[in-house]
Amino acid sequence: MQSHTVNSGPSKRPVRRVDDRLMFVIMAGLLFVVAVISLATSTQTIVLAPKPDGEVVEYRRLQFVDLSDGGVSAFDADSLDLVAHVSSGEGSFLRGVLRSLVRARTAQGLSHQSAFELTLYADGRLILLDPETSQTIDLVAFGPTNFNAFRQLLSDAQR
Amino acid sequence: MHEFWIAIVVAVAGWWFFTGLILWCVHLPRRYHDSLFRAASVIFIAALALTPWITSQKTVAGVIMSFTLALVLWGWLELGYLIDKVGGLHKRECPPDASLLQRFREGLGTCIYHELGVVVTGLLLSVLAHDGTRSIAFWIYATLWLMRWSSKLNLILGVRNYNRDWLPTSLQYVDSYIQRRNMNVLFPISIVLSIWVLVRVVDAAHASVLIDVQIGYTLVATVVTLGALEHLFLMLPIGEGRLWEWASPQKPTSGIAALNLDEQSEAPPIVGKQFQADT
């Protein structure tokens, strides 16, 4: 509005445009920064990098799917390859672990759908992490049979 | 759910900001161009050096960084071309009686180093990126790349509406390569392909259960949409110049006025004084 009153000839308009252009670039930049920050923080709950406990030997994001026949299938969440299938009535340890992790998600009102992360460290520790709730389960604690039930979900990747 | 809306805002604002910033830089007085390009090149090399790390971050922040990375790489190429640092073999006007093939060959000659730069940067990105061509950074870059080539081919074939004012004075000759037509054979193909890619990307976003992958594909889908819109503006009678009016110099009458403006902005304008001088 102000420019209108001062503007008596067309030659002055460009001068104001220079300022306006810079203003708009700055505004676009601010909008970008604000949007980036709000996007990054709105999904802050997701901790995807495993804590560095020794070197990571194998790592996989696993998506477990309940099937209508009572079976459970594990998929590689990145490649969507089928990693393992547990028929109805089998794999009680795996089911138990998953149930407890999912229960924690339900308690926090989080999505049931996202993947879990399984990491094998050089010191032999096998950790299942729920990135949604940041819950971790150290699978070494449950004995070799139970350990192998999850270990297989990694080694199949190398085949 | 609201994350996806924010992701769309991020993509639109990022694209808008980088385009505006480049146009603003291009229309700065020429004497700034050398240092500007040097600074941009440092950022470009730093971005390439950070590529393996950025693309290995499987988080939302990592995806946003990948998106910004692609824009930075692309922005450097754009800037280099528009301020005349990376161009082509010659800067001849297109001969008025040239055939389509001649126009294409001559036109390619004016920007061949720039186009090679685009290809080489794309290859570098695909090699350096953690997931190669599957990384979001590469997808964003490839979208910008293919969209740009498609619109350039459209310009050669002929478009209804194209904003000459965008071109800095040193690149006004490019206008001679651009046909004015109400439609061309490529245009519908470009639009249909963009929509097909958009559908595929949105599908991929739905198929994933991982928030970072979903956000990544949302960013890609938004950039595809923006590219398709830019194509549409080439054929719509209104003109996308409107979108970027704020970032380009005001040209009320003709290209001559543009020249005047560039000269005026040589001296950093002090608004009050300028008014005085004029009246």
Task: Give the model's pLDDT for residue B223.
Answer: 97
B31 lies within 8 A of chain A by CB? no
Summary count for chain B: helices (H), strands (E)? 10, 0
* pLDDT band at residue B37 using 50, 70 and 90 as cut-offs: very high
| A115 and A77 Cβ atoms separated by less than 8 Å | yes
Facing residue for B250 by CB, picked from A6, A14, A25: A14
Residues of B in contact with A61 (CB under 8 A): 58, 210
Query: Chain-wide mean pLDDT for chain A?
Result: 76
Q: Give the pLDDT of residue B146.
A: 97
Contact A32 B16 (CB under 8 A): yes
Q: Hey, is the C-beta of B14 within 8 angstroms of any chain A C-beta?
A: yes
Q: Which residues on A lie below 8 Å from B61 (Cβ)? A: 40
| pLDDT at residue B106 greater than cutoff 90 | yes
Element (H, E) at B257: helix B255-264
Report CA-CA distances (Å) from B133 to A4, A73, B96, B122: 52, 28, 41, 9
Q: Chain-centre distance of CA B44, in angstroms?
A: 15
Do B58 and A48 lie within an 8 Å CB cutoff? yes
Q: Is B53 touching A (CB cutoff 8 A)?
A: no
Instruction: Give the residue from B101, B160, B124 showing the smallest Cα distance to B50.
Output: B124
A15 CB within 8 Å of a chain B CB: yes
Contact A77 B209 (CB under 8 A): yes
pLDDT of residue B83 exceeding 60: yes
Q: Is B27 in contact with B168 (CB distance < 8 Å)? A: yes
Q: Which residue has the higher pLDDT, B92 or A11?
A: B92
Note the pLDDT tens digit of each residue in A101-145. Answer: 887 788 777 777 788 999 888 777 888 888 887 777 888 777 778
Is 0.80 surpassed by the pTM of this model?
no
Distance of CA B97 to the CA centre of its chain: 30
Task: Give the closest-approach CA distance of B69 to chain A in angstroms.
Answer: 13
A17 touches chain B (CB under 8 A): yes
Mean pLDDT in residue range B82-92: 91
Instruction: Give the number of other Cβ atoms within 10 Å of residue B263's Cβ.
Output: 11
- So what's the ipTM on this one? 0.77
Distance CA A128, CA A121 (A): 11
Tokens of A55: 């070197």
Question: What's the pLDDT at B153?
Answer: 95
Range B112-122 average pLDDT: 97
Composition of chain A by helix, strand, coil, percent to 5: 45, 25, 30
- Indicate yes or no: CB of A25 within 8 angstroms of CB of B207: no
Is the pLDDT confidence value at A1 over 70?
A: no
> CA of A12: which chain B residue's CA is closest?
B275
- The minimal CB distance from B210 to the residues A12, A21, A77 is found for A77
Higher pLDDT, B212 or B112: B112
Q: What residue segments make up the domains of chain B, in order of their start? A: 2-248
Please give the Cα distance from B184 to B78 (Å, whole number): 25
Q: What's the average model confidence in pLDDT over B2-26?
A: 92
Question: pLDDT digits over B219-259, tens only?
Answer: 999 999 999 999 998 888 765 566 667 777 665 444 443 34
* Residue B177, burial from CB neighbour count under 10 angstroms (0-12, 13-18, 19+): buried
Mutate to test the interface with B, among A15, A45, A113, A133 (most CBs of B within 10 A): A15
CB contact under 8 A, B24 and A19: no
Residue B205 has pLDDT above 80, yes or no: yes
Listed range (A90-99, A148-157, B90-99) with the worst mean pLDDT: A148-157
DSSP B181: -
pLDDT at B225: 97
Is the pLDDT at B24 greater than 80? The verdict is yes
pLDDT score recorded for residue B11: 97
pLDDT greater at residue B53 or residue B270: B53
